[in-house]
Amino acid sequence: MRERGYTVTEQPVVDDRVNVIATVGATEPEIVYSTHIDCVPPFFPSRVEGDTLYGRGACDAKGILATEIMALDRLRDAGETRVGLLVVVGEENGSHGARAANRLSNRCRYLINGEPTDNRLGAATKGAYRVRLSATGRAVHSAYPELGDSAIEKLLDALIALRDLDLPVDPVLGATTYTVGVLSGGVAPNVVPPGAEADVNFRTVEPAPRVRERLDASLPGSVSIEDVMVVPPVRLTTLPGFDTAAFSFTTDIPFLTSWGQPLLVGPGSIHVAHTAEEHVKLDELVQAVDLYEKLARDLLAATS
């Protein structure tokens, strides 16, 4: 960005990782494009096959970053100085870059956040609520299970009870869902297990405490519940004339509240992000440049 003539600030976040803020001269922007530079593992290299770009980050979100920079270039070349770019680290693991950026003072009125939405404006995104269920038992020789207390059996009772939870439903975002993502327990096949844990990730449409109330009321008391992560659901800014949709994934937006009203849009499909087939159509990238430019112009015209 410095080589392209922008004023660039590097904000230290953690270890040697930094957020990057790029502006047109010394002007504090009113419209800021944003996305994240980190990707999920494992890495696999980029390639172009026909009309499609494959590779880690193709749509989540380095391809998006490229289109945002192109849109920013167009606006600057046309004499617009009220626009900028915020690139954060760590979105895929805790959003520590966004949390750090939120402490910066700014005059931003609208944040156009880039994630793969098939170039549709996000009307809303679900939240995420992760809990750890833990059970404790007593280890004994497996030949005499009656003398012990199986932590895994207790945990299984709780996981079965999850299936009967009456979880919230929203008319825009749909149903609250959950995934049992990680299971662990036991010490050996011939020992009654003294401990067991499960990490459960809810995709929420209401505040997390409402889900926690249901867990407390429905799961057996032999299992403890620990809150691990909470990301709230978000209602987003939309504009007339743009395709819109609601999305079940979460973004950095809940942690960038000091950066103005949020919009969410980007090329590529979330269904191929994080997969071994991550890709994006080249013409969708080109369309995204036009889309990002038009969004910024419409927002600037509305604020003039």
Last residue within a domain, chosen from 205, 231, 257: 231
Catalytic (active site) residue 91: yes
Answer yes or no: do 120 and 255 share one domain.
Answer: yes
- Distance, CA of 17 to CA of 31 (rounded, Å): 25
Find the angle CA(59)-CA(298)-CA(118) to the nearest 5 degrees. Answer: 20
Which helix H or strand E contains 229, and what residues bound it?
Answer: strand 223-231
- Tell me, yes or no, whether 178 lies in a domain: yes
Q: Are residues 143 and 204 in the same domain?
A: yes
Residues 52 and 121 in one domain: yes
Instruction: Show which of 231, 264, 283 is a domain's final residue.
Output: 231
Pair (257, 289) in one structural domain: yes
Same domain, yes or no, for 37 and 160? no
Q: How far apart are the first and last CA of the chain?
A: 27
Provide the number of structural domains found in the chain: 2
Q: Phi-psi bin for 128: left (phi > 0), alpha (psi -120 to 50), beta? A: beta
Per-residue pLDDT of the chain (304 residues; tens, 9 = 90+): 999 999 999 999 999 999 999 999 888 999 999 999 999 999 999 999 999 999 999 999 999 999 999 999 999 999 999 999 999 999 998 899 999 999 999 999 999 999 999 999 999 999 999 999 999 999 999 999 999 999 999 999 999 999 999 999 999 999 999 999 999 999 999 999 999 999 999 999 999 999 999 999 999 999 999 999 999 999 999 999 999 999 999 999 999 999 999 999 999 999 999 999 999 999 999 999 999 999 999 999 987 7
Same domain, 114 and 162: no
Q: Is 70 exposed, middle or buried (0-12, 13-18, 19+ CB in 10 A)?
A: middle
Do 248 and 198 lie in a common domain?
no
The alpha carbon dihedral of 209, 215, 216, 222 has a sign of negative
- The CATH number given to whatever domain includes residue 68 is 3.40.630.10
Q: Which of 231, 255, 288 is the last residue of a domain?
A: 231
Tokens 């409402």 — which residue? 210
Q: What is the CATH number of the domain that holds 148?
A: 3.30.70.360
Active-site residue, from 80, 91, 115, 206 = 91
Residues 224 and 276 in one domain: no
Which residues constitute the domain of residue 161?
Answer: 127-231
The answer to whether position 290 is within a domain reads yes
246 within some domain? yes
